[in-house]
Chain A
């Protein structure tokens, strides 16, 4: 036992060795506390319930350095406030009210960052390079596009803080893109707060083509009458772990989580979500759909908590998967923990193959086998994608799918 532990400690320290501690004026006590924690911590193993189906060998066996070249940025929205991180470094930030980078903040302002004592959050904090610190007031006139690009083999620790103030409204897209050669590790944490009556849409678009490891976490708190929607679309990625944690603290709030993941080859995608209903009279909707090709693997773990006294909660969760090959794998675990008695909740997960009868029907009308399968897969994920409201995002996703499958609309 002791020997095993030693190796794991070494693997984490090996990962941390080339990294520089954050040069931001972060709170000294928090910093010290988390650094002590990291020194004794191990990388999670499959014995850890939260990482049961997720092996971190890609991370522990990799070696990272600082080498990289500049990436070519692209845009998703026709008109947006643009922010670009190139291999962890902020290279573009359009000026608009309420938007600053972490490097511009005073140590006092930085105390608003609240890291948890869990490994990747702690690691992100201690080694944070930069990030966006955003205060949204009123109805933001344009969406915000935050592009994270990577092509080297560097570790990128970026930490965002987004606060949508009372009755304010915003749409933000977090885009992750890596080129074919990339072997980076991006560890991104976003702390997101919705004040009373705030409305926020986050589109998380993951189109990493290389051998990147992407671990990202969105920690969301919602107050009274707020509406939070997050669309997580993962169309590639060698190793992707998404953690979305929503803490619903105000009554009459609405939370919507929509997800699509399409993985191939030996890719791995893991979506963990938590919606924690702490107060009564709230609604949450969660719909994740996945299509798994080749030898790829997907994990879905969705937890919904309804706390004691959080009555009149409507919480709906659904996960569906299509396996496109014999070697494709899904590990799905929908969980519902209810401690209140007057609630309406449902959850379910299905995994299956395409309907062969439907394929035959389409082929009998002259559609090729691959055309028939594409039509059915596109219809399957289409039920989630149609929930995305902004046309530019729809177009971006269609284009990506078309490049890959030759899909139409």
Chain B
């Protein structure tokens, strides 16, 4: 699905990623954990195509294509999805209008016919139940006046609508209470198929109680320094990151 090799990236001359390697296959869930400043959100931003970052070395192949050569919109059209840590409020643009434009542009790119208004609305109703999102929110301006939990649920709702091959969840658990966390995690689990994959970026272990990863990676100082199974997350929860820092320094 995606293969990241020896990725070096910097912003304003400061190197953040220092040779990151990661391979994710269809049907897998990978968790990336790590202390603040390790480069977790940088990785998510680079995958989505933020232009502020300079890639100095390395490559990213997504479904055999050079991801770094693709524009942000083309990455989305190829099936990559980023659930934002801080979803953006867009006054005046309704959720519905936004998603219809988005779906139609993706379909056009793939040479498919646009959805009829009726089918689209049916899909909105179906998919909004996955994250228990009030269908009234669909008619409101994108994320405007949404609570923290509603914003994150809206991200997963969009994910459900766009049906990506690879979803990257960037600290989707931050700012969520336990009920909202469960709803969001259940939504993600319902969308899981053997054909798609998910990268869950998180600071805490608690999200992984709900979204169970096949692999856990520890990102520290711009590199993945440890990879294990879900048990690794529990060790991190117990011991903190200092333990990793020490072993990484050796």
Residue on B nearest A379 in the bound complex, by CB: B92
Are B48 and A376 interface neighbours, CB within 8 A? Answer: no
Chain B 82-93, CB within 8 Å of chain A: the 1/0 string? 101001111111
On chain A, the residues within 8 Å of B87 by CB distance are 361
Chain A 356-384, CB within 8 Å of chain B: the 1/0 string? 01101111111111010001101110110
A361-B90, A367-B73, A379-B93 provided; 14 other pairs, C-beta below 8 A?
Answer: A355-B88, A357-B88, A362-B98, A364-B49, A364-B72, A365-B76, A366-B76, A366-B105, A366-B162, A369-B71, A375-B97, A375-B98, A379-B91, A383-B91
Question: Can you sample 16 A-B contacts with CB below 8 Å?
Answer: A355-B90, A360-B72, A361-B87, A361-B88, A363-B71, A364-B49, A364-B73, A364-B81, A365-B102, A366-B103, A366-B105, A368-B73, A369-B73, A375-B93, A375-B97, A379-B93
Are A409 and B97 interface neighbours, CB within 8 A? Answer: yes
By DSSP majority rule, is chain B's interface helix, strand, loop, or mixed? helix
Which B93-141 residues have C-beta < 8 A from chain A?
93, 97-99, 101-103, 105-106, 109, 141
Q: How many A-B residue pairs have CB under 8 A?
A: 76
Are A367 and B92 interface neighbours, CB within 8 A? Answer: no
Chain B residues with a Cβ under 8 A of chain A: 48-50, 71-73, 75-77, 81-82, 84, 87-93, 97-99, 101-103, 105-106, 109, 141, 158, 162
Contact flag A363-B101 (CB < 8 Å), given A358-B90, A376-B93, A383-B92: no
Give A87 to B96 CA distance when docked, in angstroms.
Answer: 45
On chain A, the residues within 8 Å of B72 by CB distance are 360, 363-364
Give A366 to B162 CA distance when docked, in angstroms.
Answer: 9
Chain A residues with a Cβ under 8 A of chain B: 355, 357-358, 360-369, 371, 375-376, 378-380, 382-383, 408-409
Most buried by A among B71, B81, B90, B158: B90
Give A376 to B93 CA distance when docked, in angstroms.
Answer: 7
On chain B, the residues within 8 Å of A367 by CB distance are 73, 98, 101-102, 105
Minimum Cβ distance to chain A for residue B123 (Å): 15
Give A366 to B80 CA distance when docked, in angstroms.
Answer: 9
Most buried by A among B49, B72, B88, B98: B72
On chain A, the residues within 8 Å of B97 by CB distance are 375, 408-409
Give A298 to B88 CA distance when docked, in angstroms.
Answer: 29
Minimum Cβ distance to chain A for residue B88 (Å): 4
Give A79 to B92 CA distance when docked, in angstroms.
Answer: 31
By DSSP majority rule, is chain A's interface helix, strand, loop, or mixed? helix
Minimum Cβ distance to chain A for residue B147 (Å): 18
Give A383 to B93 CA distance when docked, in angstroms.
Answer: 10
Minimum Cβ distance to chain A for residue B78 (Å): 9
On chain A, the residues within 8 Å of B106 by CB distance are 366
Residue on A nearest B76 in the bound complex, by CB: A366
On chain B, the residues within 8 Å of A368 by CB distance are 73, 105
Contact flag A364-B90 (CB < 8 Å), given A369-B73, A375-B98: no
Are A364 and B48 interface neighbours, CB within 8 A? Answer: yes
Minimum Cβ distance to chain A for residue B206 (Å): 26
Give A369 to B72 CA distance when docked, in angstroms.
Answer: 9
Give A135 to B49 CA distance when docked, in angstroms.
Answer: 62
Give A371 to B99 CA distance when docked, in angstroms.
Answer: 12
Give A111 to B91 CA distance when docked, in angstroms.
Answer: 50
Residue on B nearest A375 in the bound complex, by CB: B93
Give A365 to B109 CA distance when docked, in angstroms.
Answer: 13
On chain A, the residues within 8 Å of B92 by CB distance are 376, 378-380, 382-383
Residue on B nearest A382 in the bound complex, by CB: B92
On chain B, the residues within 8 Å of A365 by CB distance are 76, 98-99, 102, 158, 162
Minimum Cβ distance to chain A for residue B62 (Å): 14
On chain B, the residues within 8 Å of A371 by CB distance are 101, 105
Minimum Cβ distance to chain A for residue B197 (Å): 18
On chain A, the residues within 8 Å of B103 by CB distance are 366
Contact flag A366-B77 (CB < 8 Å), given A358-B88, A361-B88, A375-B98: yes
Most buried by B among A364, A369, A371, A382: A364
